[in-house]
Amino acid sequence: MYKAVLFDLDGTLLDTAGDMGAAANHVITGLGLTALPDEVLACTTSDGSYALLKAGIPPALIEQHGLEALRERMLGFYRQNLCHHTQPYAGVPELLGWLNQNAIPWGVVTNKPAALTDPLLAAMPLFAQCGVTVSADTLTVKKPHPAPLLHAAERLGVAPGHCVYVGDHRRDIEAGLAAGMATLAAGWGYVSAGEDPYNWQAKGVMESVTALSRWLQGAFGARC
């Protein structure tokens, strides 16, 4: 019997590609290079800031300027522009509302640093009842290590085997499986180029938030 739901953030609950992409392109175009197109952002954002920068900047320029310095420039811009384009995926507010109405604990486990995660969630009312937030630097390890998920389950007071974890990246499913949780792949998210969620060995692949809502309602006894 399932008792709680944990979610990845970027590409699962929130479409952050617009703001993440704008930050990466701020650095990329500042070097006189062509901005990354939307289709590249859509399949790279879930891999994080390093991947976005490497997608748009040749190795020689990265070596010249330093990857960490470029990343700090990107994240500095992003911190100042967290919510210009970011929005929940269609159906997410209703899904979280259903969890709240039925007193089903839920939380977020992300590889986004807390300095970005916390202000982003604070700016969005739909996260007001989020039971736990675990960011990339909450612990000394991050996904695909299972520890962040186990920590979140402990904070919610729910055994890992009674949790469902939903994410749009292979590492999410690997972490969930290693933690002993039921895992669902968010097929609507930022699935990396060349990846097929059906090969991740998740319990299920949800092609839309609507499909996820139906699955959860069935799994939790369709409490309404």
How many angstroms separate the CA atoms of 53 and 199, rounded? 27
Residue 209 has pLDDT above 50, yes or no: yes
pTM score:
0.93
| CA 166/CA 63 separation, integer angstroms | 36
Write the pLDDT tens digit of every residue in 30-59: 999 999 999 899 888 878 899 999 999 999
Q: Give the pLDDT mean for 113-129.
A: 96
Phi/psi for 14 (5° steps) reads -120, 140
Pick the more confident residue, 46 or 71.
Answer: 71
**Beta strands across the sheet bearing 204-206:** 132-134, 106-109, 4-7, 163-167, 182-186, 204-206
Let me know: does 2 contact 219? Beta carbons within 8 Å.
Answer: yes
> Does 106 score more than 60 pLDDT?
yes
What's the DSSP call for residue 180?
T
More confident of the two residues 100 and 46: 100
Kindly provide the b/e burial profile for residues 117-129, where b requires at least 16 CB atoms within 10 angstroms of the residue's own CB.
Answer: beebbeebebbee
User: Is residue 2 scored above 50 in pLDDT?
Assistant: yes
Mean pLDDT of 185-213: 94
Instruction: Give the mean pLDDT of 189-217.
Output: 94
The full set of domain ranges for the chain reads 4-15+86-219, 17-79
Question: In sequence order, which residues have a C-beta less than 8 Å from that of residue 184 and are 6 or more positions away?
Answer: 164, 165, 166, 167, 202, 203, 204, 205, 206, 212, 215
What pLDDT, in 10s, does the model give residues 129-185? Answer: 999 999 999 999 999 999 999 999 999 999 999 999 999 999 999 999 999 999 999
pLDDT of residue 222: 56
pLDDT value, residue 46: 79
Secondary structure (DSSP) of 158-170: --GGGEEEEESSH
Supply the mean pLDDT for the chain: 95
Q: Please, which pLDDT band fits residue 192 given cuts at 50, 70 and 90?
A: confident
Q: Does residue 19 have an active-site annotation?
A: no
What are the structure tokens assigned to 131, written together?
Answer: 């039971």
**Tell me, what's the pLDDT at 224?**
42
Percent of the chain with pLDDT over 90: 91
3-state DSSP call for residue 48? coil
Q: Smallest Cα–Cα separation from 153: which of 136, 134, 168? A: 134
pLDDT at 63 over 80: yes
Annotation: CATH topology of 4-15+86-219: Rossmann fold (3.40.50)
